Structure 1
């Protein structure tokens, strides 16, 4: 089967590799245009674009998939199916109609749960114990198309969004190829999503990642893990922003007021609405990541010092 692969970030690479190694013919890669990156803000091609070039297949980078010139190019490639993993642009119906077997998306949740841009982060935020990945046919409504296949994955107690997404990307690559296999031989029939159980997962913004120390410790823990590595959980100290890596709940520690700091030689505890949390690594403005105790060593905080003070 002739396949065009659409994707942009690193999380899409396992699926691209799996399709390239499968019995299907990878005829092109579709990705977002080059974007500024680094201190010099030079234009850099996406991870998927770079790998597509290494594989020796055409790499398409339209400003928008509605562009007529792009759609003409896609028709000329005559794909039977287009596979999508984190492409990053809305696909118009005119593009969806080009591939006879449609566009198959790999989404990192068990649909209809967590439709949207940040399913892994929201699953962690909600305290879900299990998530997964789903392949489905793309339709105009967001992540609402009929489902081809599902895999599940346990959310571990210390999982960050980055760690969980990496596992889902690897496992989902096999699911995507199996879906393409079933479409090619005509053995796979999609099933409509149930209207019950729909939840949405909008993008997590930087402001969403600010820690509310008046929340219970488990909620603080989940927020930090859900925002690791991006956009990065944060609070403030003495009016300056402080990024936080994953924390630990110190259930046997004496209570502290929300945001209240307790600094010892080897540890920094912060109060929440319930038990304090033990900080891991932190990143102060203009500094590198470091253990919280190293950051706090030179602070000599006042007795009433707290995080979230500005």
Structure 2
């Protein structure tokens, strides 16, 4: 088949690679426009755009898919559209541009966690498993019939970044298999069953740890927002980032927000078990080992995180 692919972040790249290595023909790529990144705010292609350039694939860069982009896709005469984390909605004209419509690789067990941040929300909620779904794209958010659903446990110390990286690889093979089934006329899609839950896009408020919550809940939130937008608390009114930590179930309990050190290890109190801080980043400084940060503190008495 002739396939047009839409995607933007690193997790979409394995699927693009899988399709280009398949028996099908990727005739074009749709991705979001170059964005300013880094301290110098230099315009930078998306990871999918960069990979498409390496593969010499025609690429459409747009943050909104209007008539011009729809016409450009239709001109490619695709049989099927494939989308993985493009970052924008496809309206009816674009949905109808490929002969067989679009299929979507989504990183959740639909209908649980429809929306922009399914893995992050699953980890934050303390879900024991997640997975990936390949479904027919429709105008309603992540509501189409499902061709394939694969499950995966969420490890007790895995971050959303860990889980997404793994799903991006397994999901690429899963989607490529569905594409073959569609080409051969063997694909069967079934309606979603169960109560949908919404995986809203993460905000900075989601990344702030609530230290009056139980330790398990604080740790789940920390893992869910790692690596992006990145967990933090306030220390002295300034953002104190926590890049890596673990739940210290056997450690002496501390008051919520209180710091403590034992045998070279640094702890932060919650309502129950404390967190052992591993890598932190105080405001205005680079990331460092928590023990190094603690040794550099002149005044630790009464130091509290909020």
Superposition TM-score tier, normalisation by shorter sequence: over 0.9
Matches of residues 119-134 of structure 1 in structure 2 within 5 Å? 119-134=118-133
Please give the per-residue CA displacement for 1:239-285, whole angstroms capped at 9, x wherever unaligned. Answer: 22100023222222222111111134611111111122211100111
How far apart in 2 are the matches of 1:265 and 1:188? 58
Give runs of aligned pairs for residues 234-249 of structure 1, distance below 5 A: 234-249=232-247
Aligned to 1:39: 39
Question: 5+ residue gaps in structure 1?
Answer: none
Give the structure 2 partner of residue 282 of structure 1: 280
What is the TM-score when the length of structure 1 is the normalising length? Answer: 0.96
Alignment of 1:159-308 (within 5 A): 159-194=158-193, 196-264=194-262, 266-308=264-306
Following the alignment from structure 1 to structure 2, what is the Cα–Cα distance between the partners of residues 279 and 129? 24
CA distance in 2, matches of 1:100, 1:191: 20
Compute the RMSD of aligned alpha carbons: 1.2
What's the counterpart of residue 9 of structure 2?
Answer: 9
Equivalent in the alignment of 1:86: 85
Name the CA distance, whole Å, in 2 between partners of 1:178 and 1:253: 47
Most deviating of 254-263 and 167-176: 254-263
- SS of the residue 1:208 aligns to: helix
Q: Deviations over 1:80-120 (max 9, x none)?
A: 00000010111110110111211100000010010010000
> 2: CA distance between counterparts of 1:278 and 1:38?
30
**Which residue in 2 is equivalent to 1:69?**
68
Give the alignment's TM-score, normalised by structure 2.
0.97
Q: Which runs of 5+ in 2 are unaligned?
A: none
SS at 2:244 equivalent:
coil
